[in-house]
Structure 1
Amino acid sequence: MEEQRPELGRDLAHALRTGPFSAALHLAIEDRGVRLDEIQRQLSAAGIHLSLTTLSYWRRGRSRPERPESLKAVRLLEGILSLPEDSLIVQLGPRRPRGRWLTRPPGTIDVDRLFTDGVSVARAISGLDRWMYHELTRLSLHDLYTVGPDRAETALACRQVLRANVDRVARTVGLFASDDPAAITSINAIRNCRIGRTRHDTGAGLIAAEIVFDRMLSRGETVVIEYEYRSESRVPTENYYRAFTTPVNEYVLQVQFHHDSVPSRCHRFQRRALNAPDQGVWEAWIGSTHGAHLVASDVAPGIAGLKWEWE
């Protein structure tokens, strides 16, 4: 009779779907109640000899399995921790290049596929501090996009809840691309953070900025940050969307229209990439206070937003 595998806890099941590898491994060890020295002994019995330091580094995200013997160990870990076959190994993807500033694990989308053609977000970010996809998990993200009386965007207020997947995480990167390539855009910290270096893509309406937390995070710790972009755009806006390079647990978008500039209709939409076809399109009602919103859970990489039509 086949031995029944124990059920996965909710957090573990989510980590096995979205990664990163370090978070999935850590939660699997916690969920199964197995000590690292016990894991080491079982690996050794199967002919794979790893130090406790190596196992600890994998768990904390300070390194990851790459050598053939290490990948064999990951396969064994799936059995030792009673996990579904391939559930850990798929988190690793192809061997990562050495010396790159950006690491893109499986289940993510290249950031340049999510912004307007001709705008190189990757180039803008490369002028900032190292940005690693796997270091943080977005638990929640709330955007408030404001449209002024001339139908142009005026501001975007952002609130993010982030969890560190590795030790010593101190910052993230914020990106905003205006509908108006000539717009002057700025970013200001509101709560629990400060703004570090910023980069502008002149003529593209893009700003990239370091958002520095009010404290250094250890693995598993969370932070709630709030910041705001201000835009001096003169071009009427017809949509706002958020680009997701990695999965997000919850996304809330509110669009607030000026009472003198209310669209005739509004719809929510999603796309796998900027130039991909719309998916999940349905009407979003504009309320008596001239606002519309969407709420989405377990958002896949891609874009999600609202678009509207002016009379």
Structure 2
Amino acid sequence: MANWAGLPQDVLELIARRLAIEDYLSFGRVCTSWRSAAAAAKEAYKAKSKAPWLMTHVGERKAEFFSPSGGRIFQLLASRVQTMSPSGWLLVSNGDRDSLFNPLSGIRIELPTLEKRRHKSGLTAELGLERLRWDSPGIKINKIALSSSPSLSRSYTVMSYSFSSGFAFHKSGEDAWTVVSRPTHLPRFHVHQLIYYNGLFVALDACNRIMTLNERKCRMQLRLVLREDLCGCPYLVECSSSLLVAWTTWNGESITNIRVSKVDLENRTHQEVKSLGNASLFLNAHSSSSFSVEFDAESCLPGIKPNHIYFMDLDDEKKSYNMDDGKVETFNYAISRDNYAVGWLQPDF
């Protein structure tokens, strides 16, 4: 019988880095030498080169995650999923309390109620002054973004957007949210997307305005307004260290075309992108958790093709858009017809 436990450490690390993320976790539980190899490989492990999970709803409150790598289904505890973040964390609600939850690790972090918010503005923010106010109950968080994974860093910031109360952020260790004002002299519009990119929280609203958080002033800062002819439903995505905006356009029944632009926040410009190279995008319409996957020597992306965009169509069918020829095709994940597909999740630590 082969002595798998006695394989060289560098070979075990190479194997670990190529596994689907749930297999990577199982790999580290086999024996002492494999656990050591998994721990050593963790820093170099690329979640972006692994297949995403598909989140589905079964019934009113039950959420499940389907992994294409092994055809397995993971069930979520009985909490209502409010929204998802690109970093693999969910915002879940249990009664009147919201928590961050990582379905991969099982870590849950309770957040302060959004009704308890610190208000800073102008000179008071610069002087470090604040006032604490309790707002009306029942405020719902609709979008979230995280500066870093709470399981990897004790110092992180959660940015949120609520249709009813706007932007706010919460720093780890604090007991309340801090209110964020919208850009001066700009009317308020619905925010489509909120992500963390290159050290900045970035938001895109219904008027094609891209804003970033000025944390010192507790205010959103207008960076640029995208062209008026770029219509459709927009998605903010980080891909290959670039900030992209993808627009889906439809003919009344289904999505027929997707245009992609690369955004330069410093120079306040954007230009159309014709190819994603060795990457693909996954778009989520009802959250800010759109993300990219990258093809490399350690990829584990069964059924997924490079230079494609994966999305849920208007009829909730899972489809892909080929950036090479513009063709739209049905993308089949083997899930039950009784399950309602909600969106894609990129599991991460």
Question: How high is the TM-score relative to the length of structure 1?
Answer: 0.30
The answer to which structure has the higher strand fraction is: 2
Larger Rg: 1
